Amino acid sequence: MRLTVYRPHVSTYHSSDHHLIEKARFENMGDIRYVHGNLDVVPGEGDLILITDSETWAEKLPASILSRIRLIIHPNSGYDTFSPAFVRSTPIPIVIGNQIRANAVTDYILSTLLSHLTPIADQTLWDRRGYKNRKRLCDQLVLILGKGLIGTLVHDALIGAGAKVHVFDPFKGYTNWPQQKADVLIVCASLNPTSFHIVNREFLLSKMQNDFLLINPARGKILDENEFLSVMKEKNSARACLDVFEEEPFDPSRFRHHPNIMKTSHMAGAYKMIGETVVNFIGGILQDFISDPTGFECRHGDKILKNRLKDEYLI
């Protein structure tokens, strides 16, 4: 009996024909049927492999469908659509695709930071006075919240460039805050009860310099947005770049009095080749699972969502 790969939704990151590209690629791998859309396209029997995105809630699928799923592939870095209770109880391995966007998000962070320190503008006259207030990266204390895949990439890049870097991630053993106030805050943490609103008024006043730069491409609710905006109103020299927000899509009027806040719309993880990268990632996971399901979870332990369970939440 043919194996069915079911893809309910395709992210708006991708082209309108992305599901057709996946269909051609995966059905060429062997005895696979690829279906995309509502449940009525799913055949009535046989094993299923589910491909999810930020719109797909696997645990809300009918029990008749869930009982047939042998693998879930989630080619996203965020996994808010999976409850800890479901991840803990399900026998289905759930593979997440953090690596797909990790380098792009790292580029976004580094680009934002370096553009802040050294804004480049065309000069029509020879005038060297414009750079007298330029800041050097090596003079900055950068505080990184979270040392997962992206946090590690950012950390290593900044250390290599000479910055002073401090990491806070209690799940990785980094439990101390810096002894002096930081110049830059980079949020690379996942959202869970320990990180919800961790960046609030008290945090920004006690741990950050007055002219801080805050970069958040992680999760909007890590910032207490109301308290953050009140601090930004008071500190005219502070800057921020937000790619995520507490309520999305963001309300432009909410930020109209804050010219020092740059807003982007989840662009941190988007890039030219993302569609091809997603297809290659899913194809590799599919091929490995079909060829040798025994020991699959051990071979992909760093990608299995169940391994991110900590107490009653996901890290």
Residue-number span of the structural domain to which 10 is assigned: 3-93+272-314
Distance CA 105, CA 96 (A): 16
Residue range 83-131, pLDDT digits in tens: 999 999 999 999 999 999 999 999 999 999 999 999 888 888 988 776 7
The amino acid occupying position 238 is A
Same domain? For 235 and 110 the reply is: yes
pLDDT of residue 206 exceeding 80: yes
Classify residue 230: in a domain, yes or no.
yes
Classify residue 125: in a domain, yes or no.
no
Classify residue 208: in a domain, yes or no.
yes
Per-residue pLDDT, 31: 92
Same domain? For 106 and 243 the reply is: yes
Distance CA 300, CA 215 (A): 31
Per-residue pLDDT, 133: 82
Per-residue pLDDT, 1: 60
Distance CA 149, CA 311 (A): 21
Please give the tally of structural domains in the chain.
2
Per-residue pLDDT, 65: 97
Encoded tokens for 71 = 């693998």
Q: How many residues appear in the chain?
A: 315
Residue range 289-306, pLDDT digits in tens: 999 999 999 999 999 999
Classify residue 126: in a domain, yes or no.
no
Q: What percent of the chain has pLDDT over 70?
A: 99
Distance CA 27, CA 286 (A): 11
* Closest to 44 in 3D by CA, of 6, 15, 74: 6
DSSP 31: S
